[in-house]
Structures are given as C-alpha cells and as structure tokens.
C-alpha cells in the first residue's frame, strides 16, 4: 500500500483502507447493538463463531469475487459453480468409488476449470466479463440439474465423520441455562475460511500478482504502460476466483453433508453485496480483502437480528437492500468528498493505517 | 473511408440475423412444417406466433435496457424485480377499484407506470446523482424487490379472474392475433416515434461515449441518465403488465424470474457494446427474439428441460467468441492473406488495426 500512498501525498489513508474502516466500524456498532438488544444469544461466543462456521462458503466466495472486482471485472458464476461442485462431490461420494480426497480434487478441479475457461475468454479474447460469467452461471446450473435433480445425502462413513467433526476449544465457551459449561465448537470450514483470508490478504498486499491486480483494476491502460502483463493478471484473477468457488463448494458440502439443486443459489448476488459493503468498488482498483469477510458478517448479522426479532422474513431482504443502499451512498459521498480534497478523517493519527508512510515521508 | 463506415454499420445486425437464420434452418431440418400456422377459435397459432407471443416482455425490456446501457455504460439488473413490483401495484389497484372495466384497467396500468417511474427514479438518482455503478445501484432493488412485491400483494399470488384481463393476455374476440403481440408492436412503434421525433438518441449516445464532452456541449449527463432510467422503469411496467395478464395471477416470486439476464443478453447479441455509446434498438429486438427462438428450438429438439440451460450457455459462449474483437481481427487477417491482391481492403483494415497502438500516443498529447 505504501507505493499507492506515496503517489498522493495529500492523503494519509487510501480509499481502500478508508472504506474498510467504515465497514469495520459499522459491523462493530451493529454487533454491539445486537448484544445490547439480545444479550442472551449474541453475547455467546458460540453465536459469533456459528455465523462464521455456517457461512464459511459465502465468505470464501466473497473473497474470490472481491479479487475479481479489484481487478476491474465481475464474476457472477460463483454461486452456480459452488452449487455444481457440491452436487458433483455428493454424486462421487455416493457412487461408492470415490474417497474424500478424490472429492476434494474434484471440487478444486471443477472450480479451476471454470475459472480458467472464463478467465481465458475474458482476458485473452476480450469478451465482456458479465456475459461470459452469465453463460458460466447457466452452464453450471444446467450441468447441476443434468447430473442429479433430487437431494442427495452423503452416507459415506469417512465423509460423515468429517462432516460431524468439530474443533473444540475448551477455554472459550459459555454456560447454558442450567449452568453447565459448554466449550466452543468450530466447524473446520471456518478454519479453512480464516486461513484463506490470511493467505489472500498476504497475496494481495505483498505479492507481485496482488499489486499488479490493483494497478490493472485502477487503470489498465497505465498498468500496461508500466510493463504489467494486463491479460495474464486478469486471467489469474479469474482462475483464482474459480479455485475459491471450488473450495467454497467443498466447504459447503462439508457443512451440510448433502448435494441439492438449491445449494448456494443466489450466492453470487449476496457475495457481490457483501464485497461492496466491505469496501470493494466495482470500478476496480479499490478494496481491502479484510473487508470482504467483514461485509459478509455485517450482512449475516442483520439477517440474524431480523430472525431474532421474529418479524416477517420478507423484511430480511428489504433490510439487506436498505443496508446496501446506505453503504453505496456513503461510499459514493466519501469518494466524492475526497476527490474534492476537503475531507479529513476525524481520527487520531496513531489510528490511521497509513501512518507509517506519513512518517517515512518525514 | 465511406466504405469502411457502411461496413461497420451493417455488421452489428449481421451477427443476430445470421444466428436467427441458423436457428431457423435447424428448425426446418427438424420439421418442414415450422412456419405452418393454424387458426383456433379465430386466432392464429403456430411456431412463429408463439415466439412473438413468448418474447413480448423480453423485447420490451431489451428496448429499455439498450437505452440505459448506451447512456450509463452499465446494465440494470432489477428489471425483472421492477416488473414484479409494478404488476403487483397493477393487480392491487385493479382489485381495489371494484368492478373491472377497460377504464379501471387503464387507470391501474397508469398507476403501475407511475410505480415503474418511481423505481426508475430511484435507480436513476443513484446512478446519475451519486455516480454509482449501474449494476451495484440496481443490486439494491434486486435484493429487496421481490419481498416488496410480496408485501404489496399481501398474500400469495392474487388471481386475476375476469374476461377483460384474460383477453389482454390472450385473444380479443374478432382479432386474429394474440393481444400481447399487438401490444408489443404498438410499444415498438411508440418507441421508434420517440427516437425519431426527439434528440434522445443523440443525447444518450453522446453521454455514453464521453460524459465530459457531452457536458461541455451543453448536454446535462445527469438529466439524460435519469431520463433513460425513468424510461426503463416504464418499460418494466409495460412488461410486468403483459406478464401478469398472460399468467392471470401475480406470483411475486416467479414472475419474470431471471429475465434481467436475458434482457442484457439480448442487448449484447444485438451487437450493442455493453460499455455504452452507440446503440441499435433494432439489434436488441432481434436479439430478444433470437433468445426466444433458441429456447424454443432446444425444446423442439427434445433436449430435457434441465439440460437446456447448459446448451444455452454453450451457445452464448460460442456466439461471444465468434463476435469477440480478437477473433474478428484474426479472421480479418486471415481474409487479408487470402485476397492479398485487393489493396484497398488491406489498407482499410490496417487503419482499424492501427487504432489500438494509436491510443497511448493520444494520451501523451
């Protein structure tokens, strides 16, 4: 990020970090409100980690879509590919010939295959990403219903034990109503998601690919003139997004244990919404990967709050839409104000993520 | 240069028309009676009327989408949802009006158009005033819209059970053509008149090509973008009206589901750039009918309903690969090598090929 900041000496904090900061603050405020309103459920560690465990696939998909969005593209096939992966894994595991490891390989293979195909068509043949990934979505959806139409529960013993496996953390837990101490349980999917977040943040921040992608997303013309291989960078971003959809698919079936036509349906729009709330901009070049899980968790907390309030479930969609509206307008206003140059963040200097660079400049 | 220009103008219709021709040939091979029509109860039925009937909502939405794409360089993904909301308004106003006459239907339709304009104003304000990417701005309604439609309905799928609305969705006695086809034709005619009599096309194209230049020339990009979204809102109201009268009941969950994807696809197949600028409404209309023909051809070839989506996807991918700029350049290079003698043609193509490397040079100035 230093190189980005150095270009604009006026700003102490880049757009990516600012939008991430807003998202993080709002998530904390919202969770705080949830704790105040429903202390019985939201104060438990289990509730917080369940949000993580049960929605690990969505978080992983959001990471993938954020990467593509930072590169200035869009991938709306992710949900359908995830669904296809769950069904293929279920069919393979139920056929009696496959082991858990072959299912993992199949999941990754399908994801990467979609990523490579779409990435090639978009970056090397210069076709509009929306149309190609729309076709990818249709393709994955059509293949899914062709392979198997009915819900398929996996009964392979090795897989069932993996599905039921939970990491128990004895020193972090809550007491239930009877006063018995219940240790915290985390699904392995949440661990995978957390590991991916760390790995991808490192990749995007410090690897050549990550920095190239920010440059390409910001302005592909100047990236090209700087000697960056624009096409290859875009191609890699789509391939990575496909791989993440594959992983998300396996995590999904690891959590639910069944292949179903409705698996991961509508995830693409949820993931895009989560990425936007997390501060990634569709125009490309702006975004912090830490923001993606924060955005997803914000969206999920809202839904949990509405569920806890016990009102009509239609309000979930409406409130999600409203939240998205607030964030979009907020982002637009912030970016506009910063563009005019009379915007100052009212934070002490030691809180600003860009502080180090300010000192470096002296 | 003039020859190059005419070539470029014709080429945008070449792709959708050739695809349509291929599909029709496939259909004729499958059965020679493809174009046959029969008269049942005084109305025409057959493959062609069915295609015109089935594609009517898609055509109307594709027209509005073309305009929005041209001016705002992005697509509205909330059109299907907007149609669900406006038709919910239509049904509610109609049922609240008591007895159903042509007048109450017209009044309810106007109410639904007002709702459509409101939706268009919402999306348009986000896109034009707040400068949000169109896809992101319309994602809001895409997320929330069907729930809003459900809340307007108040209960699961209210039914429109009366003669007049079923005539609108089917056949009016004495008229040999199904009513939705007539409504579509009327809508296309009105829209053509709008484009012919006003400067809308010029303004929308100039805003889409270069917003700053348009403003320097006295065109207000904010107002033009806002206007195009309002027009799209009216388009979705009309599409929702047709869809709900066809179905006879308002199903807020399934009404025009996924139509936004088809509408964007129609715009792309019609030879329009999804990145805005010059547009061809004719292309989009042909594109919309092509999509309908494709779906019906796949059904006719007895491909299972669950596999249709996959075939459609493969078809779209092949189509986009053929139409992609890189493949076209390769093709034109190959063509040039074949007829190396034809000098003028080679010069013309060298001109277009050179425009890429030229761009950075312009930036330096």
Q: Does A139 touch chain B (CB under 8 A)?
A: yes
Question: How many degrees, rounded to 5, is the angle at CA A290 between CA A131 and CA A105?
Answer: 60
Give me the total of CB pairs closer than 8 Å, taking one residue from chain A and one from chain B.
Answer: 132
Q: Which residue of B has its CA nearest to A120?
A: B321
Count of domains observed in chain B: 2
Q: Which residue of B has its CA nearest to A326?
A: B140
| Residues of A whose CB is below 8 A from B130 | 328-329, 332-333
Q: Please indicate, yes or no, if residue B242 is contained in any of the structural domains.
A: yes
Contact at CB, A134 and B261, closer than 8 angstroms: yes
**Among candidate residues B291, B306, B321, the one where a domain is terminated:** B306
| Residues of B whose CB is below 8 A from A225 | 360
CA distance B270 to chain A (A): 13
Cβ atoms of B83 and B260 closer than 8 Å: no
Residue A147 CB-density burial (10 A; 0-12 exposed, 13-18 middle, 19+ buried) = middle
Please tell me whether the overall predicted TM-score, pTM, comes out greater than 0.90 for this model. Answer: no
| Residues of B whose CB is below 8 A from A267 | none
Q: What is the pLDDT of residue A83?
A: 93
Is pLDDT at B316 greater than 60 in this prediction? yes
Taking only the tens place, the pLDDT of each residue in A198-214 is 999 999 989 999 999 99
| Residues of A whose CB is below 8 A from B150 | 314
CA distance B290 to chain A (A): 16
Q: Please indicate, yes or no, if residue B352 is contained in any of the structural domains.
A: yes
Cβ atoms of B136 and A331 closer than 8 Å: no
Q: Are residues B257 and B354 in the same domain?
A: no
Q: Which residues, at least 6 apart from B25, have a Cβ–Cβ distance to it below 8 Å?
A: none
Q: Are residues B261 and B216 in the same domain?
A: yes
Residue A290 CB-density burial (10 A; 0-12 exposed, 13-18 middle, 19+ buried) = buried
Taking only the tens place, the pLDDT of each residue in B171-229 is 888 788 888 999 999 999 999 999 999 999 999 999 999 989 999 999 999 999 999 99
CA distance B147 to chain A (A): 5
Q: What are the counts of helices (DSSP H) followed by strands (DSSP E) for chain B? A: 16, 2
d(CA B346, CA B355): 14
Q: Are residues B342 and B248 in the same domain?
A: no
Contact at CB, A282 and B326, closer than 8 angstroms: no
| Residues of B whose CB is below 8 A from A322 | 140, 144
Q: What is the pLDDT of residue B231?
A: 95
| Residues of B whose CB is below 8 A from A137 | 313
Strands A167-175 and A181-186 turn out to be antiparallel
d(CA B344, CA A279): 52
Find the CATH number of the domain harbouring B139: 1.10.3470
Q: Which of A145, A269, A333 sits opposite B142 (nearest CB)?
A: A269
Q: Which residue of B has its CA nearest to A135?
A: B313
Contact at CB, A321 and B140, closer than 8 angstroms: yes
Q: Are residues B293 and B360 in the same domain?
A: no
CATH class of A2-361: mainly alpha
Q: Are residues B149 and B194 in the same domain?
A: yes
Q: Which of B136, B144, B316 sits opposite A317 (nearest CB)?
A: B144
Is pLDDT at B34 greater than 80 in this prediction? no
Q: What is the pLDDT of residue B344?
A: 55
Cβ atoms of A129 and A236 closer than 8 Å: no
Domain holding B354, by residue range, is 329-364
Q: How confident is the model at residue B10 (pLDDT cuts 50, 70, 90)?
A: low
The structure tokens listed for A169 are: 């953390």
Q: Which of B140, B144, B312 sits opposite A328 (nearest CB)?
A: B140
Q: Which of B75, B268, B306 sits opposite A149 (nearest CB)?
A: B306
The structure tokens listed for A6 are: 């150095």
Q: Please indicate, yes or no, if residue B323 is contained in any of the structural domains.
A: no
Q: Are residues B144 and B52 in the same domain?
A: yes
Q: Which residue of B has its CA nearest to A137?
A: B313
Q: Please indicate, yes or no, if residue B314 is contained in any of the structural domains.
A: no
Residue B133 CB-density burial (10 A; 0-12 exposed, 13-18 middle, 19+ buried) = buried
CA distance B38 to chain A (A): 34
CA distance A148 to chain B (A): 10
Contact at CB, B309 and A141, closer than 8 angstroms: yes
Cβ atoms of B290 and B16 closer than 8 Å: yes
Q: Please indicate, yes or no, if residue B172 is contained in any of the structural domains.
A: yes
The parts of chain A modelled with pLDDT lower than 50 are 1-11, 354-362
Contact at CB, B359 and A221, closer than 8 angstroms: yes
Q: What is the pLDDT of residue B325?
A: 78
Contact at CB, A139 and B313, closer than 8 angstroms: yes
Three-class secondary structure of residue A87 per DSSP: helix
Is pLDDT at B362 greater than 60 in this prediction? no
Q: Which of A124, A321, A332 sits opposite B143 (nearest CB)?
A: A321
CA distance A252 to chain B (A): 22
Q: Please indicate, yes or no, if residue B21 is contained in any of the structural domains.
A: yes
Q: Which residue of B has its CA nearest to A127?
A: B324
Three-class secondary structure of residue A182 per DSSP: strand
d(CA A315, CA B47): 43
Backbone angles phi and psi of A175, in degrees to 5: -90, 135
- What is the separation of C-alpha B298 from the centre of its chain, rounded to a whole number of angstroms? 21
Percent of chain A with pLDDT over 70: 88
| Residues of B whose CB is below 8 A from A121 | 317, 320-321, 324
Concatenated DSSP letters of B32-64: GGGG-EEEETTEEEEHHHHHHHHTHHHHHHHHH
Across the strands, what pairs with B249? Answer: B159
Q: Please indicate, yes or no, if residue B322 is contained in any of the structural domains.
A: no
Query: Looking at residue A354, what DSSP letter applies?
Result: T
CA B35 → CA B42, B351, B360, distances in Å? 18, 44, 53
Q: Are residues B91 and B145 in the same domain?
A: yes
Contact at CB, A121 and B316, closer than 8 angstroms: no
Q: Does A326 touch chain B (CB under 8 A)?
A: no
Q: What is the pLDDT of residue B6?
A: 40
Q: Does A142 touch chain B (CB under 8 A)?
A: yes
Whether this model's ipTM surpasses 0.85 comes out as no
Q: What is the mean pLDDT of chain A?
A: 83
Q: What is the mean pLDDT of chain B?
A: 84
Taking only the tens place, the pLDDT of each residue in B40-99 is 777 778 888 888 999 999 999 999 999 999 999 888 989 999 999 999 999 999 888 878
Taking only the tens place, the pLDDT of each residue in A256-294 is 888 888 888 878 888 988 998 888 887 788 888 888 999
| Residues of A whose CB is below 8 A from B146 | 317
Cβ atoms of B307 and A144 closer than 8 Å: no
Q: Are residues B273 and B232 in the same domain?
A: yes
Q: A125, A222, A267, A269: best mutation site toward chain B, by most B Cβ within 10 Å?
A: A125
Q: What is the pLDDT of residue A270?
A: 87
Taking only the tens place, the pLDDT of each residue in B259-313 is 888 898 899 888 888 888 889 999 999 999 998 998 888 888 888 777 888 888 8
Taking only the tens place, the pLDDT of each residue in A20-34 is 888 888 888 888 888
Q: Which residue of B has its CA nearest to A129?
A: B274
Taking only the tens place, the pLDDT of each residue in B141-177 is 988 888 899 989 887 778 887 888 888 888 888 788 8
Contact at CB, B131 and A74, closer than 8 angstroms: no
CA atoms within 13 Å, Cβ hemisphere of A177: 2
Q: Which helix (H) or strand (E) holds A119?
A: helix A100-119
d(CA B88, CA A279): 34
Q: Which residues 149-188 of A are in CB contact (within 8 Å) with B?
A: 149
| Residues of B whose CB is below 8 A from A318 | 144, 147-148, 151
Q: What is the pLDDT of residue A12?
A: 57
Q: Please indicate, yes or no, if residue B297 is contained in any of the structural domains.
A: yes
Q: Which residue of A has its CA nearest to B77?
A: A269
CA A203 → CA A13, A207, B85, distances in Å? 21, 5, 44
Q: Does A145 touch chain B (CB under 8 A)?
A: yes
Question: Which position has the higher pLDDT, A85 or B8?
Answer: A85
Q: Which residue of B has its CA nearest to A299?
A: B143
Q: Which of B136, B306, B320 sits opposite A146 (nearest CB)?
A: B306
Q: Which of A142, A145, A315 sits opposite B311 (nearest CB)?
A: A142
CA distance A70 to chain B (A): 14
């Amino acid at each position: 990020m230093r190189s980005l900041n150095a270009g604009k000496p006026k700003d102490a904090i880049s757009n990516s970090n600012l939008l991430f900061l807003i998202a993080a603050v709002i998530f904390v405020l919202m969770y705080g409100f949830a704790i105040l309103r429903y202390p019985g459920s939201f104060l438990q560690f289990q509730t917080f980690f369940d949000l993580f465990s049960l929605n690990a696939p969505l978080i992983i998909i959001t990471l993938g879509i954020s990467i593509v969005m930072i590169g200035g593209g869009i991938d709306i096939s992710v949900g359908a590919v995830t669904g296809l992966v769950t069904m293929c894994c279920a069919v393979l595991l139920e056929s009696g010939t496959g082991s858990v490891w072959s299912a993992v390989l199949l999941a990754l293979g399908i994801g990467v295959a979609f990523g490579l195909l779409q990435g090639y068509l978009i970056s090397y043949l210069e076709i509009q990403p929306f149309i190609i990934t729309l076709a990818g979505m249709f393709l994955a959806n059509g293949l899914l219903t062709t392979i198997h139409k009915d819900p398929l529960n996996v009964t392979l013993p090795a897989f069932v034990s993996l599905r039921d496996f939970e990491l128990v953390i004895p020193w972090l837990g809550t007491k239930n109503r009877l006063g018995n101490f219940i240790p915290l349980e985390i699904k392995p999917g949440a661990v995978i998601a957390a590991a991916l977040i760390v790995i991808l943040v490192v990749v995007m921040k410090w690897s050549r690919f990550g920095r190239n992608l920010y440059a390409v997303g910001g302005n592909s013309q100047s990236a090209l003139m700087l000697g960056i291989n624009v096409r290859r960078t875009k191609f890699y971003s789509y391939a990575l997004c496909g791989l993440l959809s594959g992983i998300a698919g396996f995590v999904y079936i690891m959590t639910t244990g069944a292949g179903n036509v409705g698996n991961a349906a509508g995830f693409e729009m949820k993931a895009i919404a989560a990425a936007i709330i997390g501060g990634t901009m569709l125009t490309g070049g702006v975004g912090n990967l830490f923001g993606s899980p924060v955005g997803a968790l914000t969206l999920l907390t809202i839904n949990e709050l509405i569920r806890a309030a016990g009102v009509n479930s239609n309000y979930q969609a409406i409130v999600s839409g409203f939240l998205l509206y607030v964030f979009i307008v907020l982002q637009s206003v912030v970016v506009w104000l910063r563009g005019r140059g009379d915007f100052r963040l009212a934070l002490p200097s030691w809180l600003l993520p860009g502080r180090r660079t300010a000192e470096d400049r002296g | 240069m003039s020859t190059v220009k005419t070539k470029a103008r014709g080429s945008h219709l070449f792709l959708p028309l050739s695809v349509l021709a291929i599909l029709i040939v496939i259909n004729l091979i499958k059965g020679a009676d493809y174009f046959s029509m029969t008269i049942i109860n005084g109305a025409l039925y057959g493959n062609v009327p069915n295609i015109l009937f089935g594609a009517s909502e898609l055509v109307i939405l594709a027209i509005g989408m073309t305009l929005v794409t041209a001016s705002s360089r992005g697509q509205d993904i909330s059109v299907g949802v907007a149609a669900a909301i406006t038709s919910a308004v239509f049904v509610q106003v109609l049922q609240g009006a008591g007895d159903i006459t042509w007048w109450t239907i017209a009044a309810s339709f106007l109410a639904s158009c007002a709702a459509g304009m409101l939706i268009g104003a919402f999306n348009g304000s986000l896109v034009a005033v707040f400068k949000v990417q169109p896809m992101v701005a319309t994602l809001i309604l895409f997320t929330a819209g069907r729930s809003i439609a459900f809340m307007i309905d108040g209960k699961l799928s209210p039914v429109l059970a009366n003669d007049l609305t079923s005539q609108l969705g089917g056949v009016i006695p004495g008229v040999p053509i199904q009513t939705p086809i007539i409504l579509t034709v009327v809508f296309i005619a009105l829209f053509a008149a709008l484009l012919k009599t006003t400067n809308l096309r010029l303004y929308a194209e100039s805003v889409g090509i270069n917003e700053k230049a348009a403003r320097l020339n006295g065109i207000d990009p904010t107002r033009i973008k806002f206007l195009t979204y309002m027009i799209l809102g009216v388009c979705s109201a009309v599409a929702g009206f047709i869809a709900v009268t066809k179905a006879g009941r308002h199903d807020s969950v399934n009404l025009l589901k996924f139509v936004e994807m088809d509408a964007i696809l129609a715009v792309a197949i019609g030879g329009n750039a999804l990145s805005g600028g010059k547009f061809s409404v004719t292309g989009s209309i042909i594109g919309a009918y092509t999509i309908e023909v494709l779906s019906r051809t796949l059904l006719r070839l007895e491909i299972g309903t669950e596999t249709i989506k996959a075939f459609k996807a493969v078809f779209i991918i092949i189509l986009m690969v053929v139409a992609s700029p890189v493949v076209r350049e390769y093709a034109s290079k190959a063509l040039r090598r074949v007829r190396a003698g034809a000098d003028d043609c080679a010069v013309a193509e060298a001109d277009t090929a050179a425009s890429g490397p030229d761009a950075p040079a312009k930036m330096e100035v």
